[in-house]
Structure 1
Amino acid sequence: MKHQEALTQYLAAFVTGLVHAGIKDVVISPGSRSTPLAMLMAAHTDLRIYMNIDERSAGFFALGLAKASRKPVALLCTSGTAAANYYPAVVEASLSRIPLIVLTADRPHELRNVGAPQAIDQIHLYGHHVRWFTDMALPEEGRAQANYAETFAVRAVKEATGLPKGPVHLNFPFREPLIPILNPNPFSQQRPPLLIENGRLLLPIESIKKLAEEWQTIEKGLIVCGPIDELGFSESVQNLAEKLGFPILADPLSQLRSNVVTDNHVIDSYDAILKSEKAVEQLKPELIIRFGDMPVSKPLSLFVKNLQDLQYVIVDGGAGWREPNHMATTMINSDEAIFCDDLAAQILESKKSKWLKMWLEMDVIAKDAISTYMVPSEELEEGKAVFELAKLLPEESTVFVGNSMPIRDMDTFFHKNKSNIRVMANRGANGIDGVVSSALGAAVHERPLFLVIGDLSFFHDMNGLLAAKLHKLNINIILLNNDGGGIFSYLPQAKEPKYFELLYGTPTGLNYEHAVQMYHGQYTKVFDWEGFKLAILEAVSHEGLNVIEIPTDRAKNLESHREMWQRVSREINNYLQDVE
């Protein structure tokens, strides 16, 4: 009884600390050793509990929750390989700066390294992928130990939401018996909460003034916005672009394509434009200011990498180092929105320029060429699926995008609008794993939510669909089924046909209707674009899991993309020849 009292007091204090630090959502996978924490979390009235049986799915579900809410989420599992199954989600959270509080139950010290069942080495299990790790003390009675537990809960949230944000890991050794005492209420006695306040990085006003003085004299400047999802940034960076007279090359994950304050600066077809060698040759800027992570576009990345005598400035509010091309000349650690506001305030008049006019005209030409090619096409192919979806999305909706081809098609075919559509993806490690679960986690906070995903990525995380059934979540999944790994058709591996299908094409030949039915979802297979349009319009009012499958052909998809890009390049080349 004394052990259970100590266990209860200790862990009730820890759970209280999490709540005081702002944790509201907890994802739990079932297990015995994690019982005391799980039961106390379930007993706390301020916590929302989401059960997820498979730990790999649970990790990504928690990641999607945190990504959508922009708040830290706690994640709890039992000891052993259960904790190892969190690893992919922890890696993604680290690279994409998502705050996860990873809590793993463990055997007590006397049962480690002695062959006890379900015991693995969980010390620093996630290595450098977490911002902070601690092996918690065994539960003991007394106010001092309760204060320690509560303080470490608050510290865990502080570390996860610091700069840069990311996952933390707390490992909890528990001795049996594992059942806490829930009556009387273990949360009735609380000390005043320990509060945390993480600040934002700001650049001194003297530095801002110096940059404003220098940059407003530059004619050929570019603002590049990669994946970034910070409230207020979209409006701030567009205001800065107007003052400087620079175009904004806006990645689909920058939240700029669908939160357009003015049509006069956002460029969304740069990926297609920069496939033209003539454009690459003639569009050399003097200055690039980049916000957010690396953009999706490979042509843009190659364009920047091959520039000479360039001022390349990266502004990062997370104080990280996201520059794989090693081209940066200045790294600025400052909150992105505040930086834009402060800089714009130092520039009195907005600037118009021939450089900006040329980018805007090319953007229109590229979009017209894409539209002219795509509109009459009757073929079911992946690019047109995104092209048509973009026109059908309701205002204030969210699109979660799978990696490989879907995110690249989003880059090409999702153009600027004023519908305030939020676009999300797991671009930290760019993996195809856990995408279904992440999207379902996001669906807790975002509705309506559409997931655009390829068949291999869907298969890879098919058990993630259980969350939709268990938690009655609403999600519309557009399944692009080319029966294999379509992205590899665009890579050099495709030139080796002897082993291509075996090693890279990897067709599965699966009927996904059966899987959807197993999870009590609605399934629709479309055979023409009118059927797709009707399915999307019906999806908005549909409750629960809804899967719309579009069968496509990998070879025809590759041919269609290449022909379209060639058309865009011809139009861009003709335009540049005329302006020379």
Structure 2
Amino acid sequence: MLKLDSKNFQTHYASIFVKALYSFGLRHVIISPGSRNTPLTLAFATHQNIEKHIAVDERSAAFMALGIGKYCDQPAALVCTSGTAPANYFPAIIEAEKSGVPMIVLSADRGFDETNTGANQWIDQSNLFGNKAVFFGHAHVRPNNPNDLSRLNYLAEQTWWSAVHLRGCSHINFPFSKPLEPDTEFLSELPGFYSDSGENTNDKTQAHLSTWHPPISAFEQLNKSKRPIIVCGPGTARHPLSDVFELFSSLDIPILSESGTKPQNSTGKFVYGFNTYLRKSENCESLQPDLIIRFGDEPIGIGLLNYLKIHSNVPVIHFYDRGNWSNSNFATETRIVVPNDVIIHPPVVNNNQMDRTSWLTDWKTAESKFLDFHDNWKFSNDTFRDGDVHKIISESIDLDEILMISNSFAARDIDLFGMPGLKDNQIFMNRGASGIDGITSTALGIALASRKRVTLITGDLALIHDLSALVTITNQKSIKLRIVVINNNGGQIFRMLPVFASNEYFAHYFETPQHINVAEVSRALGIKSICVEHTDDFKNALSIEDQIVLIECKTDPSGSMKLRSELWS
């Protein structure tokens, strides 16, 4: 029996919370070192079945949790000290809220006696993340109060349920007072306290899940449609939305799915290159739909957004799995919420399958014109371009490898140059708020959760934003991570803007070239690194078998933009 004197009580109630989270399904925690979070840190450290990861930088830690949540569709927990430490989680929490990724933040805080007294390292951490957190609670437990301990178990349930079902960050603030450390005898008894933990006591088995099917009216509307189109936005690949998608994808309907939105192992009439040829209004007009079936969040690509804007008068059936709004064109929508924890069944409906062969042929014709050029451009001996990097990767990596793609040009180039070669690889992106911070840390989280080879395609500025992730990576012994850095010396995506014509200001204020030797920086941190400037050298670098490797690709920004322009036109 654990001793519950005043010295041990705080670690005791932290361990009750940890035990409850484990029973609901928590398997990963990222701990950032600090003093005030000692009770939480020790409560996790003594739990033998939760994987512990250490990250000194809280911003990096939060994006690691994001990556774990993306892959597992279950939250990872974050533990930190008080003050500015939890504030560093904010960028990842914004991305989690925008992209519907579960996450749990457990921040330590000062006790009541240090509140609003000018005490060092105290800030008001109540609702620190505002409306970007889906749930907030204070874990203030009084000694020798059994009712408070019961409330703590219920708080753990609220924390888990909110993160999973409301799809975002649950934030729990733990006020701790000194002494923070339990005695050694108490600490030695914690593994035994955890040994009788049940697993997934709050998860429903398939036998107890309720069944759900899309409204019959959606299929009846589809039966009347001659030119329907399916649009996959971010979030389509996660359960149960992916199961609803499969009901429709089998009906010979053209599917527009950007990278990272295609459900794994899905079959259907996927169309490629659309973000290129749908930039032109005449192509959008010739491919006019009479029904749009949307899944998930708002798509990203310029071509697809242009197509949806031009056809904003076309009726839309929109399936989504959380309470966000996603209708930037103000189209007339039938919004259908797909609940969590259900088994998707097809409705009993007469499926009068219309012959849509000519409609599908129209799309495939547009696709083939794009692919004719896409498949026939040649690697150049004179210049190494961003597109070369994506195409070589699409021709080289194994089907079971996972891809993490940075934002900015990388997110656009993977569709432009990497598809359809990478159509069967699992692809992740941070497309909620589309920032370039935390990209490397997100890839690290995915690698930790999946135990598969992860290839990250990122840019030089994105890597600089997240250099502390490389410090954490050097201490990882079990992951397989290949970091491909496209070093085109700055923010080349700004060359798409009119300000590019202003040579006087463009480079200094927008492109911001950093002139950093990326490979040398990573080598200084103990990561095997290589710098390549030609296509053949890059092909050889991809064959390196080391578990962790960084490949810096020095590419030609002007040649890269020229190749993009040729494909866009």
TM score, norm. by length of structure 1: 0.90
Which residue of 2 is the match for residue 429 of structure 1? Answer: 433
Please tell me the residue identity of whatever aligns with 1:168: S
CA distance in 1, matches of 2:138, 2:220: 51
Quote the offset at 1:188 in angstroms. 3.9
Measured against aligned partners, the alpha-carbon deviations of 1:140-176 in whole angstroms (never above 9, x if no partner) come to 23433322222211220011111x3110100011010
1:395 maps to 2:403: no
Q: Cα 1:337–1:280, aligned 2, differ >3 Å: closer, same or farther?
A: farther
Which one of the candidate residues 55, 77, 80 is aligned to 1:77? 80
Which residue of 1 is the match for residue 10 of structure 2? Answer: 7
CA distance in 1, matches of 2:70, 2:212: 30
> Which segments of 5 or more consecutive residues in structure 2 lack a partner in the other structure?
none
Which one of the candidate residues 30, 45, 52 is aligned to 1:49? 52
Matches within 5 A, 1:300-311: 300-311=304-315
452-461 vs 57-66, greater mean Cα deviation = 57-66
Quote the offset at 1:496 in angstroms. 2.4
CA distance in 2, matches of 1:565, 1:334: 36
CA distance in 2, matches of 1:341, 1:496: 57
445-454 vs 273-282, greater mean Cα deviation = 273-282
Structure 1 SS opposite 2:137 = strand
CA distance in 2, matches of 1:332, 1:497: 49
Structure 2 SS opposite 1:318 = coil
Structure 1 SS opposite 2:395 = helix
Measured against aligned partners, the alpha-carbon deviations of 1:341-398 in whole angstroms (never above 9, x if no partner) come to 5259752647442111110122122112112224567521112211121111112110
CA distance in 1, matches of 2:367, 2:493: 25
Which one of the candidate residues 111, 125, 129 is aligned to 2:128? 125
Which residue of 1 is the match for residue 496 of structure 2? Answer: 490
Which residue of 1 is the match for residue 543 of structure 2? Answer: 537
313-322 vs 213-222, greater mean Cα deviation = 313-322
Q: Cα 1:339–1:19, aligned 2, differ >3 Å: closer, same or farther?
A: closer
Which residue of 1 is the match for residue 513 of structure 2? Answer: 507
Q: Cα 1:553–1:47, aligned 2, differ >3 Å: closer, same or farther?
A: same
Matches within 5 A, 1:239-388: 240-243=248-251, 245-256=252-263, 259-262=265-268, 265-334=269-338, 342=346, 346-347=350-351, 349=353, 351-375=355-379, 379-388=383-392
Q: Is the 8 A contact 2:312 2:330 kept in 1?
A: no
Q: Cα 1:129–1:235, aligned 2, differ >3 Å: closer, same or farther?
A: closer
Q: Is the 8 A contact 1:397 1:449 kept in 2?
A: yes
Measured against aligned partners, the alpha-carbon deviations of 1:382-430 in whole angstroms (never above 9, x if no partner) come to 1221112111111211000000000000121222358741100111110
Quote the offset at 1:509 in angstroms. 0.5
CA distance in 2, matches of 1:416, 1:202: 37
Computed over aligned residues only, the root mean square deviation of the Cα atoms, in angstroms, reads 2.6
Q: Is the 8 A contact 1:482 1:551 kept in 2?
A: yes
Which residue of 2 is the match for residue 230 of structure 1? Answer: 238
Q: Cα 1:300–1:199, aligned 2, differ >3 Å: closer, same or farther?
A: farther
Q: Is the 8 A contact 2:24 2:201 kept in 1?
A: yes
Q: Cα 1:137–1:294, aligned 2, differ >3 Å: closer, same or farther?
A: same
CA distance in 2, matches of 1:410, 1:357: 25
Which one of the candidate residues 473, 483, 486 is aligned to 1:477? 483
CA distance in 2, matches of 1:506, 1:94: 30
1:65 maps to 2:68: yes
Measured against aligned partners, the alpha-carbon deviations of 1:76-126 in whole angstroms (never above 9, x if no partner) come to 000000111111111111111111110100011221221111111111100
| Number of residues of Structure 1 aligned to a counterpart in Structure 2 | 557
Which one of the candidate residues 198, 218, 234 is aligned to 2:225? 218
Please tell me the residue identity of whatever aligns with 2:248: L
What percent identity do the matched residue pairs reach? 29
Please tell me the residue identity of whatever aligns with 2:96: A
Q: Is the 8 A contact 1:79 1:104 kept in 2?
A: yes
Q: Is the 8 A contact 1:235 1:261 kept in 2?
A: no
370-379 vs 166-175, greater mean Cα deviation = 370-379
Structure 2 SS opposite 1:6 = helix
Which one of the candidate residues 211, 216, 225 is aligned to 1:209? 216
Q: Is the 8 A contact 1:485 1:507 kept in 2?
A: yes
Measured against aligned partners, the alpha-carbon deviations of 1:299-321 in whole angstroms (never above 9, x if no partner) come to 21122112253102211022432
Which one of the candidate residues 99, 102, 108 is aligned to 2:102? 99
Quote the offset at 1:559 in angstroms. 1.9
TM score, norm. by length of structure 2: 0.92
CA distance in 1, matches of 2:170, 2:79: 12
1:440 maps to 2:447: no
Quote the offset at 1:470 in angstroms. 1.5
Q: Cα 1:427–1:328, aligned 2, differ >3 Å: closer, same or farther?
A: farther
Which residue of 1 is the match for residue 180 of structure 2? Answer: 178
